[in-house]
Structure 1
Amino acid sequence: MAGEVRISVRNLVEFILRSGDIDDRRQGSPENAMQEGSRIHRMIQRRMGAEYQAEVALKYTHPTEDYVIIVEGRADGIIEQNGETTIDEIKGTYRDLAKLKAPLPLHIAQAKCYAYMYSLQKELPYIRVRLTYCNIETEDIRYFYEDYEFVRLEAWFQQLISDYRKWADYTWQWRELRQQSIAELQFPFDYRDGQKELVSYVYQTIYHKRKLFIEAPTGVGKTISTIFPTVKAMGKDMGDKLFYLTAKTITRTVAEDTFSLLRQKGLRFKSIILTAKEKICFQGHTECNPEQCPYAKGHFDRVNEAIYDLLTHEESFTRSKIEEYALKYRVCPFEFGLDLSLFADGIIGDYNYLFDPHVYLKRFFGDGSQGNYVFLIDEAHNLLERGREMYSAPLRKEDLLELKREIKQTITSEMEEAAQKKRDKDGISGQMTLEMTGMSKQLPQEITLEETDGTDSLYVRGHKGKKSDGKSTFVREGYAERISQLLEKCNAQLLSMKRDCDGYRLVDDIDMLVQPLTRLHAVISDYLEEQEKVSLEVRENLLDFYFKLSHFLDIYERQDENYVKYTRLCEDGSFELKLFCVNPRENLKECMLRGRSTILFSATFLPIQYYKNLLGGEKEDYEVYAHSVFDPEKRTILIAGDVTSKFSRRSQEEYYNIARYIHEVVKNRHGNY
């Protein structure tokens, strides 16, 4: 049977046809748009008539000399009506559809792929494509249509496949090399007591597509005992990629050292350590747009060349290697690393790349898809608290007030600047300008200075005027005023909760707050989609607040019996509403379903049934207690009765006493502790 290289329509289009800059100023809300996308798709599909086929699976097979390229995906809809066929591609967005002049090029390309595949299957001489954009907040819809002849579609699609061919060739050749090396790979050490059984348990768990919870004391060799059998399983096609996930930087280094050791024994295996954007960014501050960062400008024009260069020369994609090639090609090292992960066999990184609802790797786990992946979760006892943290969401009253103050300052300064420009232009006396400036400071926020036909006028925001020099889109088009009003409504709701709060207080219903929060989110999103390229001082904090708000609203939609809502007065005097995930079991389990099998291991995993339940384990999943390699006859247990780690006793003196005990023990007996 011929080998296969598979790629989705979306990944093919985005990888081959992307170009231009990285620009986070015009991204709107990708996370929320993706989360709401399924709902929008179902809503539109339900409204269609009997001639509408929803979610049609399509596949194209392209033979080569050694293997076949398989391109596959699902068309959102296919309409057969009056002898004509239309491919429908649905996109949810927070953008104002009235300002959308044309569909985005990558969206058109995705629809054209489906149009070609369906035309080929049905032998259609021509076909129509419809791009359906739906505003997630208002549910308004806008359609764009284009007709295509099959001959032109085929030429376009075959060029796309031709451009992808070198990547497919590389993928096929590397996989053959990797699989051959895995078949010959042997365990690099003499097995310790019980270690061979542990390796076998991991392999069998992957074979049966289950989860395994391992309680393994220090010294057992958990890293090699989990990585080695996983690699061997990949050699039998029981896994395309290995994800080694941990909460600590040092354990990521240990994992990479293990891969290096196996390479010394003959393994051909590409691994990558993913580093957080804030740590790997070349700039002092992560401003991801072409005006602030030279590595963002033209990034997509150069990044594929950089990827191919590194792939054909390296097997270990460490941070230093990623930075070296990113500097050589002047590309963003963070985005470069994420793209490289598509071609890595082993991916090492933080828990959040799989579990965080906003940071997870959408290129692997987007659209609810399941891949042939194996997840190795190191120090898994840490995942419980991290899971609670990732699936909880706070909302601080002070964040709303701070943003409102910044917006007011922006409005005032722009009005003063407009008045000054008018004075310079017309020669108005200094005294009159001062009066205007003083008056502008007293204006309510919904009133701003506009210019109409050369005459300064006072307008209630929302009345359309001509563009005034010195005034940003943020103020001129009313975003500032609308955001301020909604912040005030949200603040009023939080204030009413604060009156009833003395320390901590459980809350039952927050719908009256969520309504203005949702509208606020939509207005900010609209601004971020449509804003001009001039950076405002307020923009950074607006974007930061927007992401916090996106997370809060997402968690609000996820709430179930595993959540509690409470308010609290913090020690610094701030007031917080929190959606707290008491039991992250279902959320974590859903994430682990994105792969074939998950191995969770820790030296402190007792009682194991407790962790198994809270970390998403099921009755059919396995648990193993690995024996310590240390001789229990050589163990000494010493009890100090006059120190404690109880919270009520914690102090500098208590810490000193505990440290003194440890020091006294260690200095009296040489060895490893």
Structure 2
Amino acid sequence: AAVAAVGTAVANREHLLLQATTGIGKTVAALFPALKYALAHDKRLFILTAKTTQQDMATAVLRLLNQEQAFRSVRLRAKAKMCANDQVLCHEEYCRFAKDYGVKLTSSGLLPRLWENYPSLEPDDIFAAAQATQVCPFEVSLELAGRAQVVVCDYNYAFDPYVALPEFGPDQDLADTILVIDEVHNLVDRGRGYYSPELSAAAAYQAAEGMRHAGEPIHFRIETLCLRLARLIEETVANALEEGPPGDRAVEAPLSEDQFWRLRPALDAAFVDYLEYQRETRNFRPDDPFVALYFDVLRFLNGLAVSDAAFSHCVEVRRGEARLKILCKDPSRFLGAVLERTHATVGLSATLSPPEFYTGLLGFQAGRTAFVEIPNPFPPENRRVVIDPSVATTFKQRPANYDRIAQRLGAFAEAIPGNCLALFPSYQFLSEVTGRLRLNGKRVLVQKQADSDKEREMILQALRSAIFGDILLVAVAGGVFAEGVDYPGDVLKAVAVVSPCLPGLSLDQQLLKDYYQERFERGFEYSFVVPGMTRVVQAAGRLIRSPEDTGVIALFDQRFLHAPYRQYLPADWAAEDGEGVRVGNPAQVAGEFFQVLSRKNAKG
């Protein structure tokens, strides 16, 4: 059904939102017909993802589909991770990989050699070959992406106005482009972020400080401008907040737009003169605070220029720093401007409910977009879902429940014959409970906010290895261990989700709530419940990813029993054949489930 739906969409120049449970092969089901059509009709296919783990999956599928080497695919990696220089400073005076780039690229024959030898052009292969030739690996990857029939990359390369590839520019024709967007539910928040710039007084003061002791007239000019900007930000915040309690505060308030626009000509002139001074003196700096500030100002002014009823202007004091923020509440105008120019776009996710929320906020055209939901094909008897109503996890009730949550979660983990994943809405909540956990039969691994890619991979390796014994991995919902990651076979036997994982209370969420109430008449539901329950269902989807997988999903909070939360649980969990959601002690339910499973396996 998924293959047919995608095939129909691309053949008819339509868009498709495809909702299907994780593990049923929806990536293959989407890529096969989309790729087949693209190759037959001279179209280009872009596979867009939010996480690198999803790119791994897409690349693996493309290899399976390209055993005849009928096409070339390129995978793009972020510029900072593709830099072969000792610092990201893209100037030929400071980077040997930028120096004489065009001459070296042509004389070496690097592009045709890579094109010939690698049907699937991966970042590591491009990096090694470009480094050996002493040309910029990132630029080489972009050159190859411009030629390839298939490109695998982050959302940014299509939708971020400051990062997007040239072919996604606002005036470019995308009639020959097909998009497959994986985990498309993530694009709502990403889209808002692209158009929600901030300006901080601290960044302006830092840029001024960097100029203070340099001594040249250009440095004095820039220092003066940066101090003017810092004071303008502080005055705007002070006038809006007036007197109030100490600590972090934020309000929606009008901004002094004319004063910011009046700074622009002087900043532009100073920026040009500063670059000329750096060129003449060969004095370029990596991570230059003034250069970063200048582009922050441009983004902020662009945000002011495009603002309409879908935007809010905010002032805040965060950790003692005065800040201004433009909040984009609805990115559909900008995302839709890209989507409507494509030949067809297919969005994939296990969580696209309610569809009108996603079609509306992602900018899909109503008359050109279909929504298809694929039923869960996995045997319901292979899974048990249990809700523990004996704990309360609202922000006010959490402290009184930390001990009980730790006790109930610990008992549940001990009842699982294998690895268990426990997910929390925040690092603080996670820390409070893990500090109280007392487990005998399992090793506890905890995701930390500052974990690097390497440390995360080490945790995944520990889960996949039997050497370390059974593990309870405690992590944050919506993070790298909860979405877009595969736990094949018996790597995972249970998932516990503590609370409906609602976003934290903030001015941003309140403004979103008000906007959604006005637009959809479902303010709280769309601003809090939908993103929270999306994380819950995504996390639960890590468990059952094949007809052979078995395990238990435990939801800790009484709210899961009631509207509006319960209606966002998957429909197949509400089965009336005895395999639906249980209510009770998760440890007891898990113990009984695995006992029955063990007896069944023993009988053969």
Instruction: Give the TM-score, by structure 2 length.
Output: 0.63
Is 1:397–1:576's contact at 8 Å kept on the other side of the alignment? yes
Q: 1:516 aligns with which of 228, 251, 262?
A: 262
Report the CA distance between 1:308 and its aligned residue. 1.9
SS of 1:578 mapped into structure 2 = strand
Say which of 379, 383, 393 aligns to 1:631.
379
Tell me if 1:589 matches 2:325.
Answer: no
1:550 equivalent among 298, 305, 308: 298
> Does the 8 Å contact 1:271/1:316 carry over to 2?
yes
Distance 1:382 1:391 in 2: 15
SS in 2 for 1:639: strand
* Structure 2 residue 19 is matched with structure 1 residue 215: yes
From 26, 31, 45, the equivalent of 1:227 is 31
Q: Deviations over 1:520-577 (max 9, x none)?
A: 542343235533322266981111112211211122111111111111221x111211
Q: 1:300 is matched with which residue?
A: 102
Q: Any conservation in 1 of the 2:207–2:290 contact (CA below 8 Å)?
A: yes
> In structure 2, how many angstroms separate the alpha carbons of the residues matched to 1:489 and 1:333?
41
Structure 1 residue 203 displacement after superposition:
1.3
1:401 matched to 2:147? The reply is no
Structure 1: tracts of 5 or more residues without a match: 1-196, 415-470
Q: Counterpart of 2:336 in structure 1: which amino acid? A: K
Alignment match of 2:47 (pick from 235, 244, 264):
244
What whole-Å deviation, never above 9, does each CA across 1:579-636 have from its counterpart, x for those lacking one?
A: 0011111111112234211101101111222212111122211000011121234442
Give the structure 1 partner of residue 93 of structure 2. 291
Q: CA deviation at 1:336?
A: 1.0
Find the aligned partners of 2:328 and 2:404 in 1 and give their Cα distance. 32
Quote the residue 2:413 is aligned against: 663
* Pair 1:362–1:528, CA change in 2 (3 A): farther
**Which moves more between the two structures, 523-532 or 294-303?**
523-532
Deviation at 1:640, TM superposition (A): 1.1
How far apart are 1:500 and its partner, in Å? 6.3
CA distance in 1, matches of 2:146, 2:259: 41
Q: Partner of 1:282 in structure 2?
A: 84
Q: Is the 8 A contact 1:273 1:347 kept in 2?
A: yes
Distance 1:591 1:314, change over 3 A: same
Q: How many residues align?
A: 413
Q: Structure 2: 5+ residue runs without aligned partners?
A: 419-492, 495-548, 552-604
The AA in structure 2 aligned to 1:383 is L
Aligned-pair CA distance for 1:208: 1.8
* 2:145 partner amino acid: S
Task: Please give the alpha-carbon distance, in whole angstroms, between the structure 2 residues aligned to 1:251 and 1:560.
Answer: 34
CA contact (8 A) 1:270 1:315 kept: yes
CA distance in 1, matches of 2:204, 2:83: 29
Deviation at 1:371, TM superposition (A): 3.9
Query: 2:352 pairs with 601, 605, 618, which one?
Result: 605
Moved more, 510-519 or 347-356: 510-519
Q: Which residue in the other structure is 1:360 paired with?
A: 164
- Residue 531 of structure 1: SS of its match in structure 2? helix
- Equivalent in the alignment of 1:526: 272
Taking only aligned residues, the RMSD between alpha carbons, in angstroms, comes to 2.7
Q: TM-score under structure 1 normalisation?
A: 0.57
User: Residue 332 of structure 1: CA displacement?
Assistant: 0.7
Is structure 2 residue 358 aligned with structure 1 residue 614? no
Kindly indicate whether the alpha-carbon contact (under 8 Å) linking 2:89 and 2:286 is maintained by their aligned counterparts in 1.
Answer: no
Structure 1 distance, partners of 2:397, 2:130, is: 50
Q: Distance in 1 between matches of 2:169 and 2:76?
A: 16
Q: CA deviation at 1:330?
A: 0.6
User: Percent same amino acid among aligned pairs?
Assistant: 25
C-alpha distance in structure 1 between counterparts of 2:152 and 2:365, whole Å: 26
Distance change (3 Å), C-alpha of 1:536 and 1:617: closer
Kindly tell me: are residues 542 and 654 of structure 1, through their superposed partners in 2, closer, same or farther at Cα, counting changes over 3 Å?
A: farther
Q: Is the 8 A contact 2:340 2:365 kept in 1?
A: no
Retained in 2: the 8 A contact 1:501–1:569?
no
Task: Tell me the distance in 2 between the aligned counterparts of 1:349 and 1:538.
Answer: 26
2:298 equivalent to 1:496? no
Q: Please give the alpha-carbon distance, in whole angstroms, between the structure 2 residues aligned to 1:500 and 1:520.
A: 33
Q: Over alpha carbons, which structure has the higher Rg?
A: 1
Shift of 1:202: 0.6
Q: Which moved more, 1:532-541 or 1:573-582?
A: 532-541
Alpha carbons of structure 1 residues 647 and 340: separation in structure 2 relative to 1, 3 Å: farther
Secondary structure class of the residue paired with 1:525: helix
CA deviation profile, 1:472-511 (whole Å, cap 9, x unmatched) = x7348x5554555555555544543453677221113432
What amino acid is aligned across from residue 622 of structure 1 in structure 2?
A
Map Cα deviations across residues 358-414 of structure 1 (whole Å, 9 max, x no partner).
11112453534334111111011111111111111111122122222222232xxx3
In structure 2, give the amino acid aligned to 1:526.
V
Deviates more, 1:656-665 or 1:286-295: 656-665
Secondary structure at the counterpart of residue 576 of structure 1: strand
Q: CA deviation at 1:311?
A: 1.2
Alignment CA distance shift 1:537-1:344 (3 Å): closer
Take 2:30 and 2:408, find their aligned partners in 1: how far apart are those partners?
Answer: 35
- 3-state SS of 2:366 partner: coil
